[in-house]
Amino acid sequence: MYGYTKPFVLTLLACNLAYLHDANAETIPAASCSQEDVQKAVDAARDGDTVAVPAGTATWLSRDGNKPAVLIAGKVITLSGAGTDRTVITDGNTAAWKDLLIWIEGEKPARITALCFKGSIDRNRGAAAVAVHGDCTNWRIDHCKFDGSPRGVWAYAGCFGLVDHCTFLNVGQGVVMKGHGPVSWERPLMLGLAHAVYVEDCTFRGGGAATDAYHGARFVFRHNSVIDTHVAQHGCDSGNYRSTFSYEVYENVIRKEKLTSWVVPRAMHFRGGTGVVFNNTLGGYTAGIDVANYRSSESLRKLCGKWGICDGKNPVDGNEEPDGYPARDQIGRSTNQVLEPLYEWNNTLDGEDADIHVSTGAQHIKEKRDFLNDTHRPGYKPYAYPHPLSRQWPAEPPEDRQAPTPARNLTARAVSDRQVELTWEPSADSQDVTGYYVWLSGKRVTAITDPGHAEYTFKRLKPPVTQYTFAVSAFDAAGNESQPSAAAGIGRRKGAKR
């Protein structure tokens, strides 16, 4: 079984929350804001402590072998400056891609707050001011300023956390997210849940892009102000990397105020994966929500690396149709390449309705199949806002340990040869059911976060399979998951037409 299991959640709780009630937590003052003094204070800190960096200005340099200026490894600590206008760290590196300033490593989360980072390298090249790596969850980066950095925050290897109340000024890429690659594409779609990098209540002005994501990343971008830049992510077209897996973009104000070489004509640009885009207010751009598949175009072959072109002959693609559709990881594809359309609703551009527009790859990306305009995603409910980590960091351990009861009376109805509708009776839970996981032939493939929505439709099942089994499990806010329901099956006649 792929996915985030209850033992996985409990392990995180044991690793990340054991320190919460440590009455001996201390504030460790750094002697100055130099990287040497800050590292000494970090090394002296224990779980639950706060390292206080005083007001001042310092230039930091990556150490030999591209080691970060300051490393936080395996400690649940807060690294706090005196304020974004008082504690200013300048990137003194001169070599691109060797300019890591703060690196958070390991399973335990850390918090970075009240610091200003100023970059000095070409904003289109280089690493990040703050990077998070490993299986770390519940980290937080807040109330920081990134001014001219090549990249502001970089979240590696599928780690999940929160970037909030930060300011990004003329940054090459504000928040960059990288997933686990093929492993990420085997895990279930979990829209509306905590399993993502959340970016909220931030301001982005100028620069290359507010976001970039690739290789199975999952992110939520909400309640932000974006000026003279755009929201973007990579598809399965960047060297040897896989596409971004999922994204939720909503309640943002994105506008173009001036024309510069860094301002693209579109407010959003998505090149793969799936998600939801809704309630965004856009202004000043030629296009609002742009989607593309670079692997549909021979002229873009050089950008596609080892993946090549989707032309009906490439074994990495689905090749269900003569043109190769579906292209690997293209818009509207999810876990194990199951069809999960991208949904758009209630977005405006200069006061008018803003729908999804296909700029490249129209032969592979079709409306009403791979994306739906003006359509709310069935069963979707956004995650709590503000993010719980912004109200309480570190997170409080859940008190509820009781799993919901299994869903009952699951039925599967074949609407067509490739479309199946599931319905079931809701579960009961001591603390209320939060949603349901839907299983396909023994693997969780998606989550429904509206607990009152007890139905799901598979829209385009792969035709070679002659037998499918389905199940549903319920989960609550504490992460408790019920046993799967009794399975329901659907057979398909051999040789049936597609």
Q: What is the DSSP string of 128-168?
A: EEEEEESS-EEEEEES-EEES-SEEEEE-TT-EEEEES-EE
Looking from the CA of 159 toward its CB, the CA atoms found within 13 Å total 26
Segment among 32-36, 337-341, 431-435 with least mean pLDDT: 431-435
Task: Quote the pTM value.
Answer: 0.92
DSSP assigned state of 303: G
pLDDT class of 23 with cuts at 50, 70, 90: low
Structure tokens at 94: 């001169």
What's the rounded Cα separation, in Å, for the pair 79 and 238?
A: 34
List the strands of the sheet with 467-476, edge to edge.
443-448, 433-440, 467-476, 488-491
pLDDT over threshold 60, residue 165: yes
Residue among 96, 166, 123 at smallest CA distance from 262: 123
pLDDT over threshold 90, residue 314: yes
With DSSP H G I counted as helix, E B as strand and the rest as coil, what are the percentages for the chain, rounded to 5? Answer: 10, 40, 55
What's the rounded Cα separation, in Å, for the pair 3 and 184?
A: 9
Mean pLDDT computed over 471-493 = 88
Inter-residue contact 108 to 15 (CB < 8 Å): yes
Domains of the chain in start order, with CATH, are 6-372 (2.160.20), 402-491 (2.60.40.10)
∠ Cα 425 426 427 (to 5°) = 120
Inter-residue contact 283 to 349 (CB < 8 Å): yes
Q: Tell me the per-residue pLDDT of 263-307, one tens digit each, with 9 for 90 and over.
A: 678 999 999 999 999 999 999 999 999 999 999 999 999 889 899
Any idea how long the chain is?
498
- Confidence at residue 495, expressed as pLDDT on a 0 to 100 scale: 47
CA distances from 160 to 29, 221, 483 (A): 28, 13, 26
Helix or strand (DSSP H, E) at 39: helix 35-44
Residue among 213, 178, 166 at smallest CA distance from 390: 166
Helix or strand (DSSP H, E) at 42: helix 35-44
- Confidence at residue 123, expressed as pLDDT on a 0 to 100 scale: 56
pLDDT class of 395 with cuts at 50, 70, 90: confident
Calculate what percentage of the chain has a pLDDT beyond 70: 89
Residue among 267, 270, 235, 245 at smallest CA distance from 336: 245
Q: Is it true that the peptide bond before 394 is cis, omega within 30 degrees of 0? A: yes
Q: Tell me the per-residue pLDDT of 59-113, one tens digit each, with 9 for 90 and over.
A: 999 887 678 999 999 999 999 999 999 999 999 887 666 668 999 998 899 999 9
What's the rounded Cα separation, in Å, for the pair 241 and 125?
A: 18
What's the rounded Cα separation, in Å, for the pair 60 and 149?
A: 13
- Confidence at residue 179, expressed as pLDDT on a 0 to 100 scale: 94
- Confidence at residue 263, expressed as pLDDT on a 0 to 100 scale: 60
In DSSP notation, 336-355 reads GG-B--EEEES-EETTEE--
Q: Tell me the per-residue pLDDT of 166-197, one tens digit each, with 9 for 90 and over.
A: 999 999 899 999 999 999 999 999 999 999 99
What's the rounded Cα separation, in Å, for the pair 60 and 78?
A: 19
DSSP assigned state of 63: B
- Confidence at residue 491, expressed as pLDDT on a 0 to 100 scale: 77
Query: Computed over its alpha carbons, how large is the radius of gyration of the chain?
Result: 23
pLDDT class of 479 with cuts at 50, 70, 90: confident
Mean pLDDT computed over 393-398 = 80
**β-strand partners of 200:** 164, 222
What's the rounded Cα separation, in Å, for the pair 249 and 326?
A: 24
DSSP assigned state of 384: P
- Confidence at residue 110, expressed as pLDDT on a 0 to 100 scale: 96
Mean pLDDT computed over 299-323 = 94
Instruction: Calculate the CA dihedral of residues 119, 243, 179, 437 and round it to 10 degrees.
Output: 140
Q: Tell me the per-residue pLDDT of 210-267, one tens digit each, with 9 for 90 and over.
A: 999 999 999 999 999 999 999 999 999 878 899 999 999 999 999 999 866 556 789 9
